[in-house]
Amino acid sequence: MSELKIQCPKCSNEIELTEQLAGPMLAELRATFNDELAKQEAQATKALAAARAQAKDAAKAETAAEQAALEERIKEQGEKLREAQMVQAAALKREQELKDKEAEMELTLQKMLAAERPALAEKLTREANEKAELKLAEQEQVMQGMKRQIEALKQKSEQGSMQTQGEAAEIVLEETIGAAFPMDSFVPIAKGVSGADVRQDVTATNGIAGSILWESKRTKNWTASWLAKLRDDQRAAGCEVAVIASQALPEGIDSFGMIDGIWVCAPRYAVPLASSLRQGLIDLANAKGRAMGQETKMEMIYDYLTGTQFKQRVDAIVERFEDMQDNLRKERVFIEKQWALRAKQIDLVIASTVGMHGDLQGIAGRSMPDIESVEALLIGKDD
């Protein structure tokens, strides 16, 4: 190790720094250094403590601010939660009120249905019986008419299909009107004598009130010359009224009407038109008895049957006839809808019952016994 030397500040001579000479100096420097180091360490410790205290205070302040903000948010969330709970409670209350109202309405409906069921069942049974009786009567009448038509067709088959169909229509017309007015007399018109088919002598309490001459047509097209021909037949037969019942109607007539003094109607309106015509003849016969000598019988009949009053009366009868048919159709549709609704409700009840039984079997396993009535419901539903 090389020796350390220092220069004298006064004489500028170098002096060898030995241990004896440097020891006190080094000790003094070391003490000075240690004192300075201790001071710096104390200052650093103090500064660190101050910084820690400051940081702690800042952290406390920040924590307090965050806690205050958190408490404010918690308070706001609590307010929102209370509002949501109030809204939910109101909704639940409203839902329960609606359920109670629905249950009350269902109970009221069940009571109404229970009260109306016997009357409805009685009405349906009565209507079903009436319809069945009417259907049987109609079928019987159709069968008898068909038998007579077959016999007539067999006898007249050599005259051609058109003539046969016309004669069958004549028979049906005569039988239909005859069945509707059994108190009147019906006289067939001999074939080849005229185009008319049958004369209806209207019977009143005081005798024959008048006659209606009927002619049936079963063709695809209307022929205007039929009117003049039937007027000639009417005069020859001495009938007060003449009617053509035709499947093909002239333009402007879809049910019935008068053309050139001759009544024209579709076959389905023959009975209501005949009812109005015969009632008009009866009324005129009665009026003739009360006002004998004022007008001739033919003039009175013509004036009445061609007047507005009689046309309105026939319109009213046909309108009531059509209203009855429409009401009957509406009642049938209503009853069919009610039956379909009841069947759907029964299916839902059966499905719910069978489903509940299946759920219980799935939970209880084999310990759940089979219920024959439930199985019978399921079998009946499948059938």
**Secondary structure (DSSP) of 100-144:** HHHHHHHHHHHHHHHHHHHHHHHHHHHHHHHHHHHHHHHHHHHHH
Contact 222, 249 (CB under 8 A): yes
pLDDT digits (tens, 9 = 90+) for 296-327: 656 666 666 666 566 666 666 766 777 777 77
Q: Where are the domains of the chain?
A: 181-306, 316-383
Give the per-residue pLDDT at 154. Answer: 61
pLDDT attached to residue 160: 47
Residue 343 token pair: 């069947």
Kindly give the pairing relationship between strand 241-246 and strand 256-259. unpaired
pTM of this structure: 0.40
Please tell me the predicted confidence (pLDDT) of residue 289.
67
User: According to the model, what pLDDT value does residue 250 have?
Assistant: 92
Residues of the chain with pLDDT under 70: 1-6, 17-22, 142-143, 145-146, 150, 153-167, 191-195, 289-316, 318-319, 349-383
User: What pLDDT is stored for residue 192 in this prediction?
Assistant: 53
Question: What's the CA gap between 247 and 95, in Å, rounded?
Answer: 64
Cα 248 from Cα 231, distance rounded (Å): 19
Q: In the numeric block, which tokens belong to residue 271?
A: 């009975």
Buried b (16+ CB within 10 A) or exposed e, 131-146: eeeeeeeeeeeeeebe
| Furthest C-alpha separation in the chain | 191
Query: Model confidence over 32-81: pLDDT tens digits?
Result: 888 888 888 888 888 888 888 888 888 888 888 888 888 888 888 888 88
Residue 336 sits at φ, ψ, to 5 deg, of -65, -40
- Residue keyed to tokens 């004598």: 193
Both tokens of 97, joined, read 């009120």
From CA 214, how far away is CA 231, in angstroms rounded? 11
Can you give the pLDDT at residue 1? Answer: 45
Residue of 366, 339, 194, 180 lying closest to 267 (CA atoms) = 180
Q: What is the model's pLDDT at position 309?
A: 62
- CA 373 from chain centre, in angstroms, equals 34
Copy the structure tokens of residue 102.
Answer: 């629905």
Residue 14 token pair: 């170098």
What is the pLDDT, as a whole number, of residue 290? Answer: 66
